[in-house]
Amino acid sequence: MSEAMRETWHIGVIGGSGLAAGIGIDNAQEIEVSSPFGPPSGAVTTGTLEGVRFTFLPRHGAGHAIPPSHVNYRANIDVLKRCGVTDVIALSAIGSLNGDMAPGHFVAVDQFIDRTTSRESSFFGPGLVAHVSLADPVCPRLSAALAQAVQAEGATVHPRGCYIAIEGPQFSTRAESRLYQSWGADVIGMTALPEARLAREAELPYALLGMVTDYDSWREAEEGVDAADVLRVMARNTQLARQVLRQFARQLPGERAASPIDRALDNAIMTAPDKRDPALMARLHAVAGRVLG
């Protein structure tokens, strides 16, 4: 059996609204980790769940001080990679554009539409060009395992769904909400992108478990989404989300089999070795050191 096939799991969890207090990690240790891409959202908390190594990072920082458009997504992913994380799970509050996906339900997102406008969406750039495949942006085995864990806890989960990421910080107008429905989006949020893109560039399998908090603004007979409604549903679901993660940890195989995403950069680097920017290469040591040498 190869070294990759004998790898142990180390799950990184990026927690969104309602999970700033953490996910209940055992033997928790808080660590400040720096990144060449600037300050991450906060310190990471590392420890175990059911004997599996977990590292948690609050996406919006302590006290939810960072709005979606100001999250340093590059630093967050870079820091998790530096911590030795092998796989990333994102937990996020989402609005529903699909009548079957009701508040209180969970959605294991499998596709994304990007409507963000002002965020750094790649680790690469001038002096080091790379193009990773993002046709299938989430890891199917992580996503399926999360859905199974939700079912085991007796909650309703939808095994797939298309997430449209908007810039925010405002919620959608009714016209926008209906437009996004016409595009085939099932759920809406403000944080999954560029997070999922960057995880792929960092060769980290990524899955997003969304917790539906509202129906956005497409239901004409109802008032539009309100932040207070979001927080109420999140408060009810926070403990359930923690239980789902423990269930997820319990059902993981003892050994982590290699994923194709572990080698997402194998054929992605376009810039000739003699034309690569040394400074950018140094910044990418954690993210892409495997292929840059």
User: Per DSSP, which regions of 116-241 are E strands?
Assistant: 157-158, 162-166, 187-189, 206-214
214 a catalytic residue:
yes
Secondary structure (3-state) at 239: helix
- For 59, residues 6+ apart whose C-beta sits below 8 A from its C-beta are 14, 15, 16, 41, 66, 71, 76, 90, 92, 191
Q: How many CB atoms lie within 10 A of CB 226?
A: 11
3-state SS track over 82-107 = HCCCCEEEEEEEEEECCCCCCCCCEE
Candidate list 214, 226, 266, 277, residue with the active-site label: 214
| Selection from 277, 245, 254 nearest residue 127 by Cα | 277
Specify the length of the chain in residues.
Answer: 293
Burial 27-60 (b: 16+ CB within 10 A, else e): eeeeeebebbbeebbbbbbbbebeebbbbbbbbb
100 a catalytic residue:
no
* Rounded-to-integer distance, Cα 64 and Cα 56, Å: 15
* Rounded-to-integer distance, Cα 84 and Cα 88, Å: 11
Candidate list 216, 226, 274, 277, residue with the active-site label: 216
| Selection from 82, 90, 33, 120 nearest residue 209 by Cα | 90
Catalytic residues: 214, 216
